Structure 1
Amino acid sequence: MRLLVTTNGIWYSGAQISTNEFLSFLTNLKSIEVKMVSCLGGKFISSLANVEIHRVPCWSSGALLHMKTDSVFEQLIRWADVVWIATGEFAVAKEIKRIKKLPVVAHLHSYEPICPIIWFSYGFNGVCGKECSPWLLIRCKQETNIELARIGLLNRFRAEAYWLLDFGKGPLDYYGWRRVMDSAVDSIDFFIAVSRATRDIIVSHLPEVRDKIEVVYNPVAHRPWRYVSSFPDESSDYVLYASGANPLKGPHILLNALKILLNEGIDMKLYMTGTSNSWLEGLARRLGVEGQVKFLSKLPDTEYFSMMAKAKALALPSIWPEPLPSVAIESISLGVPVVGSNRGGIPEIVGNYGITTNPTPEEVAKAISTVIEQRFDKHEMKRYAAQKFGEGNAEKFLQILSSVKVST
């Protein structure tokens, strides 16, 4: 099988990490020849022996990433038996089918086919259960800016200015997205959803894809063990947050939860990676918890996974319905329980190895205080992660690639 893969490589994300893991598996098979198309400047692609990578100009419009189909890209499409759109380059699907009628498989790491805003979180507060419309998009943008102002990430003047601008920009964004995405969905023969939650949300908005979508979990459970050789003898005294300064990941909720815990007399430290010199430092000072928080930059993998393995728990109080956050899988693989929100695919990961709850400071604080007092079997957690989020998923994905047909 000759497999052509599109992957942007621009953003260091769970989507790119899992794509690299799938590629590592596929490129070790003698029955598959892999070639790739990526974006100029895409630097987060694993170095793979004997894999040709062609780079093209890319640009974004809202949640859509576009790739230029130059003459080399066109030759690669004609060469391929199957195309795998790995990290959200859906807009290129129609052009692929124009060049050659071959099967196209697309990975759903997010909600681009049903929402022009990549994070799919209505006003930073919950999931939109309605079909997108110009008016709904206007309201979503306005509510988001109001919430950003409320948590101190956007000043009030800018929020009010954006509120007015969104009356014009909302419809433009909507119709631009709708024009491209409708034809893209029609051009894709099969979708891979990374969790049951993602599949169910997509199908509720696009019932026409019900018979051409399947859940395949990301095979990332073994990744931490490339950098950690064994479980630590004992845990340290901190809870780890490892999702950066994006407010949709709920770091401000976690800082407010920390304040509640400290007021209750629970002496807890919080380590937050990817947050150094961010808006969260100012929030911690305003809350009076800065002495209990260590703000860290993005760490090298060896240091990062060593820190994760020693944590008492991992906190992931995401506001948006995360499809399948790799950080939670990696944490459980290392025997560290997770306190996560009850949205998206997080409950599918956590299972019995932590608590999922509403992403509010009060409920997150309560869940943390419960989890850090519990004891978990680390070896059992590692086995669970390997079985559910291990290489078997790559084998399942290969079966889909081998059997998919062009839709009629």
Structure 2
Amino acid sequence: MNVLILSEKLWPEGSGGELATYLYTRLLIENDVNVKVAISSTPNYFEAWSELPIYMIPVLGRGKYTIVPMFKKVRELFKWSDIVYCTDFFPTIPLIKQAFKKPVVVHIHSYFPTCPVGSLYNLKENSICKSNNRNCVNCILYYEKSHRRSSKLALTSTLLNSTVGRHFLSFLKFADALIFVSRAQKTLFLKHAPNLFIPSYVIYNPLPKLSLAPINGDDLGYFGGLSPLKGFHILLKALLKTYHKRQVRIHATKMEHLAGLEPLREIEIVSYGRLYGSSYEGVYKRIRGVVLPSIYQEPLPYVAAEALLKGRLLVATRVGGVPEMAEGLKGALIVKPNDADNLADALDQVLSMDRSEVVELGLKNRKGILKKFDNDRTVNELIRVFERVTNSHE
């Protein structure tokens, strides 16, 4: 089987979706599937991808507003394929179906395109978007401003996303199958796309190969950046509530422009950019737990999976696919979203444990997630979807 993967970026660029694509690429190749990866970004050819079949394709535009011109190189890739596995470039789907007669499987890693900004969360009203409310202008503008975009960028995004961005859902109607990463994501997505009658499946993302890290410190980790969707403001409120009981140092990533800021240092928040390699391992050795205070319905956050695999306690909000991943694990505390009091109580519980208890629960977390999720099972489920789609397409 020849599988052409369409992905705008290569991991470690991007986020969880790009990581999942990288892991699937390797797993498919290990299972004797012929794979080619077509990308539009200009990568630095990260070491992780050095032996993988990557093809740069010319495009017009950027992000989701990208058009793929049918140059000879691109046509040859589509002709070579038996199936196209699409994580980006949704406007290309109708052309793949009509001009090349190839089946298309689309992997949905967020809530785009049911939501132009991919979150299905109304920050202005602080609630999940209602399926009967399609007035996105104010919501998108508030989203852009909350992410500290310039006025020009915020207005441009609002204009594009509230008009053109709302029509991307129509491209999915040409797909042969949709894959979601959690049951919660599938339910919420399809609730906002009631006219999308396409076979859909839930396949949990593959796990990265991460080793257990020794716990040499009692700090906590927060790896979500400043996006209000990730709940950093809720974490700050919770920390203030626990401050009179005990102080704790928080290692926070995706905050490189805040590194060394005095107010953060005063409340024991150490800020970093994105962490790789030894820097990543170094931070993990200092922390006993990871905090994931997201307020939107995260489909299946890799931050939580990595914390469990590294043998750390997890404090996470009950959103999206988090319960499917962590519910029932002894060292995972699931709390209400948008509730600083509930989060503060959980943090206090984690910080009050003896180091030996933390280590024991961390080991149970690692064992638990490895039992719940199996990469061989995951990739075989994906291959079965490919086979089902190609057989029905003949």
Which of 364, 381, 388 is the aligned partner of 1:396? 381
Report the equivalent of 1:272. Answer: 252
- Residue 308 of structure 1 corresponds to which residue in structure 2? 284
Gap runs ≥5 in structure 2:
none
Deviations 1:264-288 (A, max 9, x none): 321211111221323x976x72xx7
Structure 2 residue 227 is the aligned partner of structure 1 residue 246: yes
Alignment partner, residue 164 of structure 2: 176
User: How many angstroms does 1:193 deviate by?
Assistant: 0.3
1:224 alignment counterpart: 210
5 Å-filtered alignment, 1:9-408, equals 9=9, 11-30=13-32, 32-43=33-44, 46-47=48-49, 49=51, 51-57=53-59, 59-60=61-62, 64-86=65-87, 88-123=88-123, 125-131=126-132, 133=134, 136-144=135-143, 153=148, 173-182=161-170, 184-209=171-196, 212-220=199-207, 222-225=208-211, 230-232=212-214, 234-262=215-243, 264-278=244-258, 285=263, 290-308=266-284, 310-351=286-327, 352=329, 353-374=332-353, 375=357, 376-391=360-375, 392-405=377-390
Change (3 A) 1:39 1:381: same
TM superposition shift of 1:306: 4.5
Contact 1:22-1:219 at 8 Å conserved across structures: yes
- Indicate the larger mover: 251-260 or 194-203: 251-260
Q: 1:198 to 1:329 in 2, by over 3 A?
A: same
Partners of 2:149 and 2:237 lie apart in 1 by 19
Shift of 1:131: 4.4
Instruction: State the 1:48 CA deviation.
Output: 5.3
Q: Alpha carbons of 1:371 and 1:65: their partners in 2 closer, same or farther (altered >3 Å)? A: farther
SS at match of 2:163: helix
Task: Tell me the distance in 2 between the aligned counterparts of 1:106 and 1:330.
Answer: 25
On the 8 A contact 1:35/1:51 being kept in 2, the answer is yes
Q: Name the SS of the counterpart of 2:334 in structure 1.
A: strand
- CA distance in 1: counterparts of 2:260 and 2:128, whole angstroms: 28
Residues 269 and 40 of structure 1, relative CA distance in 2, 3 Å threshold: closer
Deviates more, 1:7-16 or 1:73-82: 7-16
Matching residue's letter, 1:382: R
Q: Structure 1, residues 12-34: CA drift from partner, whole Å, max 9, x if none?
A: 3111111111111111233x211
Unpaired runs of at least 5, structure 1 = none
Change (3 A) 1:253 1:171: same
Q: Distance in 2 between matches of 1:390 and 1:65?
A: 34
Q: Distance in 2 between matches of 1:177 and 1:274?
A: 27
| Partner Cα separation in structure 2 for residue 324 and residue 238 of structure 1 | 24
Matching residue's letter, 1:38: I
One-letter identity of the residue aligned with 2:253 = T
SS in 2 for 1:377: helix
RMSD: 2.9
- Between the aligned partners of 2:37 and 2:55, the Cα distance in structure 1 is 5
Note the C-alpha offset of 1:154. Answer: 7.0
Please give the TM-score of this superposition, normalised by the length of structure 2: 0.86
Q: Offset at 1:299?
A: 2.1
1:127/1:320 contact within 8 Å kept: yes
| CA deviation vs aligned residue, 1:65-109 (integer Å, no higher than 9, x gap) | 5434322112211221110003x3222211211222221001110
Q: Distance in 2 between matches of 1:217 and 1:335?
A: 20
Moved more, 368-377 or 342-351: 368-377
| Gap change, CA 1:131 and 1:53, over 3 Å in 2 | farther
Post-superposition shift, 1:195? 0.8
Say which SS state the counterpart of residue 136 (structure 2) adopts.
helix
